[in-house]
Amino acid sequence: MTTATQTNADLLQRRQQAIPRGPFNVAPIFADKARGALLWDVEGKEYIDFCGGIGVLNVGHNHPRVVEAIKAQADRFIHTCFHVAMYEEYVRLAERLNELAPIAGARKTAFFNSGAEAGENAVKISRAFTKRTGVVAFERGFHGRTLLGMTLTGKVKPYAAGFGPFAPDVYHLPYEPFFTLPGERSDADVERACNEALEHLFAYHVDAENTACVIVEPVLGEGGFLPLHCVAMRVLRDTCTKHGIVFVSDEVQTGFGRCGALFACQRYDIQPDMIAMAKSLGGGTVLSGVTARADIMDAPQVGGIGGTYGGNPLSCAAANAVLDIMADEDLPGRARAIGEKVMAAMKTWESRHAHVRRARGLGAMCAIEIVDPATGKPDAARAGVVCRKALEGGLLLMTASGNVLRTLMPLVITDAQLDRALGIFGNAVEAAG
């Protein structure tokens, strides 16, 4: 329990003695309380939160309706294990997601714990359905830190270095041209290059007829907040349809309003076969899920998918509240409005500062790259300076892929808080020049 006499420095020393170096920390502070888009540390300093628990808190810290739902469920029972004694909260949440998911035909949903588990189960279910083994992911993609999650993740350091060997039959497509920003290449060039990359993959690395699934983030998360090009999304959908491959949209970070729709794939007007989800689904509780066509979801044998804590009653109660909040407060619409304001600010910084480049975003999932102004090369050290200056000004900010500054503010942030945060952000960018 924290007390008024404890400081961030005291707790940091205890953390270093008791906890290994492996878990990274964005800021050297310890939280005491949080509400909405604000967080206060143990020393009483207030911060505007642009990290949102790394995309977990789209409905904000301690949304009253989420807290109320958790308390009401805790009064009834905390855990039975769905495999032992089922409960209506799990069924109701599955029914709602089946209704909301942009997937053709009848749908079914199963729940797990983390985003990594959602990705792993997406692969398992796809393999069971197709009777194939190959899996295609992307360079720069991030799908978790488990063995298969690390294998799917398209970046060695820091996620996979020293942890091999890895799972077999997983292959990676290059992130370019699939994640080329609009205007950087013509649509025709993007289409040609994407088709060439897929043809090369299927000719030299894995047979298309033995490929179970393609898993892709509509916007790269840890890989740098690059949105998938709209033409690339169509090429992937068409390719999967042609070869009978399950098309998996990994919406762990992009889902639940972040990108201006409940799921980011809806911004592309493309229907995947399966959606992997987590993070903001649970409103701060531990919950992930997979929704897909019913025939795909029913492929694994009884007992083939599941887990002791998957779809925990408290988490399902929280998630049902999250879906209510998404609809009642139109948080996807709010994300689009936030994104417009953030992108306007980022474009201004890009025009004024040589060390700022490639402002981009989808909804409220926005980012800029920090580079060496002399060489144009990624400058992670300078991005770190921006984060430190922002923290000093009262803004929690984090990077992706080293030199990319990203926004994951709760979508309930007020206009006044957003304006103040962008002012702090802009001053930090200028100070790092």
For the chain, list the domains and their CATH numbers. Answer: 8-62+330-431 (3.90.1150.10), 77-328 (3.40.640.10)
Confidence of residue 394 (pLDDT cuts 50, 70, 90): very high
User: Rg of the chain over CA atoms, in angstroms?
Assistant: 21
Contact 338, 409 (CB under 8 A): yes
Mean pLDDT value of segment 166-190? 96
Region 13-21 average pLDDT = 96
**What mean pLDDT do residues 340-348 have?**
98
The tens digit of pLDDT for each residue in 252-275 reads 999 999 999 999 999 999 999 999
- CB 170 within 8 Å of CB 152: yes
What's the chain's length in residues? 433
As a whole number, mean pLDDT of residues 4-26 equals 93
Query: Could you give the dihedral angle defined by the CA atoms of residues 323, 324, 325 and 331, in that order, rounded to the nearest 10 degrees?
Result: 60
Peptide bond into 174 cis (omega under 30): no
Q: Is the pLDDT of residue 136 over 70?
A: yes
Residue 69 contacts by C-beta under 8 Å, 6 or more apart in sequence? Answer: 317, 318, 320, 321
| DSSP strands (E only) in 22-163 | 31-35, 38-41, 46-49, 107-112, 134-138
pLDDT band at residue 5 under the 50/70/90 scheme:
confident
pLDDT at 236 over 70: yes
- Compute the distance between CA of residue 324 and CA of residue 412 in angstroms, rounded to an integer: 14
275 in Cβ contact with 103 (< 8 Å): yes
Q: Which of 228, 166, 236, 229 is nearest to 201 (CA)?
A: 236
Token code pair at residue 85: 């004694």
pLDDT band at 4 (very low <50, low <70, confident <90, very high): low
This prediction's pTM: 0.96
List phi, psi (to 5°) of 129: -70, -45
Is residue 224 within 8 Å of residue 207, measured between CB atoms? no
Q: Percentage of residues in the chain with pLDDT exceeding 90? A: 98
Over residues 234-244, mean pLDDT = 98
- pLDDT of 35 above 80: yes
In three-state secondary structure terms, 148 is helix
271-308: pLDDT as tens digits: 999 999 999 999 999 999 999 999 999 999 999 999 99
Contact 221, 400 (CB under 8 A): yes
Output the DSSP codes for 210-248.
GEEEEEE-SB-TTTT-PBPPHHHHHHHHHHHHHHT-EEE
Q: Is 122 in contact with 200 (CB distance < 8 Å)? A: no
From the list 292, 19, 251, the residue with the least C-alpha distance to 142 is: 251
The two tokens of residue 346 are 């980022």
Q: Cβ neighbours of residue 350 under 8 Å, at least 6 residues apart?
A: 356, 357, 358, 359, 368
**Sheet holding 46-49: strands in order across?**
31-35, 38-41, 46-49, 395-396
